[in-house]
């Protein structure tokens, strides 16, 4: 079993490293896929393992995006003049400045959302169930509306992130962002996998299954909930920072706090793959991205109609997701011991 896993990991690693050279035309798509997987995994920490279904992780994603770009610009040039319009033409980053700024920006984009999550966590995470879901939905939309009114980050006209510096190779931009997102993806996956092997995951599951009982057992649920949300926010911010550089243009409601697209995508991908599993979000995000890219152009303007239908269909007919379905079909593969008599008894009881 361990050997099998190792082979799978190695295969994915080799594929990931070779992909931009084998499929050079799909570099941007592959980078976006990495970002989507990160978002799905982090949503799953929050929604799947902890049972706190959030629409608000888009807040950290957008925050990371704005922070990364602002730091990258603000380190070397005045931010206000940059966003006033045409700043990317007057001020040019040298390659060294660009990479330094980006690295520093990513660090800020990861840490600040985590701190924000920690600060608001105590108030917001006291809500439960659908109140939490609607509250976080409100947070995400409010962030989008408010950031659209702030002058220094471009207000309504958007924020152009620093263009990639002129290096000799034309391919460099795509490869740089691909490897950034791929490395962050591996980092996220391994970190989450490590977290899932500790007692922390069991605490999260206890909170999901019955928070009152978990509290009665002496678990400080609030502490763990806040830490869980901070982990989510940390990786969401990282993903947002990279995405900002990749897209090259930040708009408050269409790119950064895009609750209608990214905010729903991350929930949908995690549910499609299977909530509360390690591999579910990865599979779900991959399938979703393939479906999206394969059919989005085919629907030609009807994407959102298709998206709406897809949400309804997945939620109604497929709420357990792919991993849940596999688990029902082959429980032995998941390390569950099934007693045949027990299973029959359950069926008859129904």
Partner 1 sequence: MLTLQAVLDGLLLGILFALIAYGMALQWGVMNIINIAQGDLVILGGYIAYFMYLYGIHPAWGVIVSPIIMYFVGVVIYKLVINKVVDRDLFISILATFGISILFMQLMNFAFGADVVLANSGYGTTMLFDNSVTLPNSKIFSAFISIVFAIGLVVYMKKSKLGRAIRATAQNARAAKILGVDTEKVYAATFGINAALCGVAGALISITFTIHPYMGLPYTIRSFMIVIVAGLGNLPGVAMSGMGLGVFEEFADYILGTEFRIGSVFLLLVLILVYRRFKLSRKREYLK
Binding site for partner 1 (CB under 8 A): 53, 123-124, 126-131, 133-135, 137-139, 141-142, 144-146, 148-149, 156, 260, 264, 267, 271, 301-302, 304-305, 307-312, 315-316, 319
Tell the smallest beta-carbon distance from residue 86 to partner 1 (Å). 23
Would you call 305 exposed, middle or buried from its count of C-beta atoms within 10 A (0-12, 13-18, 19+)? exposed
56 or 162: whose CB is closer to partner 1?
56
Q: Tell me the C-alpha to C-alpha distance, in Å, between residue 259 and each of 61, 112, 140, 312.
A: 10, 20, 7, 17
Helix axes 221-247, 27-43, angle to 10 degrees: 170
Per-residue burial over 46-58, b if 16 or more Cβ lie within 10 Å, else e, is bbbbbbbbbbbbb
8 or 305: whose CB is closer to partner 1?
305
24 or 129: whose CB is closer to partner 1?
129
128 or 213: whose CB is closer to partner 1?
128
Tell the smallest beta-carbon distance from residue 292 to partner 1 (Å). 14
Tell the smallest beta-carbon distance from residue 222 to partner 1 (Å). 10
- Measured distance CA(277)–CA(53) in Å, rounded: 15
Tell the smallest beta-carbon distance from residue 346 to partner 1 (Å). 20
What is the number of residues in the chain? 350
Instruction: Answer whether 63's CB lies under 8 Å from 136's CB.
Output: no
Tell the smallest beta-carbon distance from residue 12 to partner 1 (Å). 30
Tell the smallest beta-carbon distance from residue 163 to partner 1 (Å). 28
Per-residue burial over 111-122, b if 16 or more Cβ lie within 10 Å, else e, is bbbbebbeebbe
Tell the smallest beta-carbon distance from residue 112 to partner 1 (Å). 19
227 or 310: whose CB is closer to partner 1?
310
Tell the smallest beta-carbon distance from residue 129 to partner 1 (Å). 6
96 or 216: whose CB is closer to partner 1?
216
Would you call 233 exposed, middle or buried from its count of C-beta atoms within 10 A (0-12, 13-18, 19+)? buried
106 or 206: whose CB is closer to partner 1?
206
49 or 88: whose CB is closer to partner 1?
49
């Amino acid at each position: 079993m361990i050997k099998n896993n190792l082979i799978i990991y190695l295969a994915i690693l080799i594929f990931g490293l070779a992909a931009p050279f084998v499929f050079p035309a799909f570099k941007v798509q592959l980078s976006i896929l990495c970002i989507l997987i990160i978002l799905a995994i982090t949503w799953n920490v929050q929604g799947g393992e902890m049972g706190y279904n959030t629409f608000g992780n888009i807040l950290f994603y957008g925050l990371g995006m704005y922070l990364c770009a602002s730091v990258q610009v603000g380190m070397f040039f005045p931010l206000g003049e940059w966003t006033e319009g045409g700043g990317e033409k007057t001020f040019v980053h040298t390659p060294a400045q660009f990479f330094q700024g980006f690295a520093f920006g990513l660090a800020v984009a990861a840490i600040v959302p985590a701190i924000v999550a920690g600060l608001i966590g105590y108030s917001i995470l006291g809500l439960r169930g659908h109140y939490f879901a609607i509250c976080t939905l409100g947070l995400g939309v409010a962030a989008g509306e408010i950031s659209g009114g702030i002058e220094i980050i471009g207000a309504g006209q958007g924020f152009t992130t620093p263009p990639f510096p002129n290096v000799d190779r034309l391919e460099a931009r795509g490869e740089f962002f691909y490897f950034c997102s791929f490395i962050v993806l591996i980092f996220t996956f391994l970190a989450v996998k490590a977290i899932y092997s500790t007692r922390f995951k069991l605490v999260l599951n206890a909170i999901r299954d019955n928070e009152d009982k978990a509290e009665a057992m002496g678990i400080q649920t609030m502490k763990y909930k806040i830490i869980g949300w901070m982990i989510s926010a940390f990786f969401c911010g990282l993903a947002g920072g990279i995405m900002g550089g990749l897209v090259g243009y930040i708009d408050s409601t269409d790119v950064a706090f895009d609750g209608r697209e990214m905010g729903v995508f991350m929930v949908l991908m995690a549910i499609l793959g299977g909530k509360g599993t390690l591999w579910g979000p990865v599979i779900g995000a991959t399938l979703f991205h393939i479906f999206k890219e394969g059919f989005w152009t085919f629907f030609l303007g009807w994407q959102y109609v298709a998206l709406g239908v897809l949400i309804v269909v997945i939620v109604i007919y497929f709420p357990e997701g792919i991993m849940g379905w596999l688990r029902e079909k082959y429980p032995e593969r998941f390390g569950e011991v099934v007693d045949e008599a027990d299973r029959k008894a359950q069926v008859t009881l129904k």
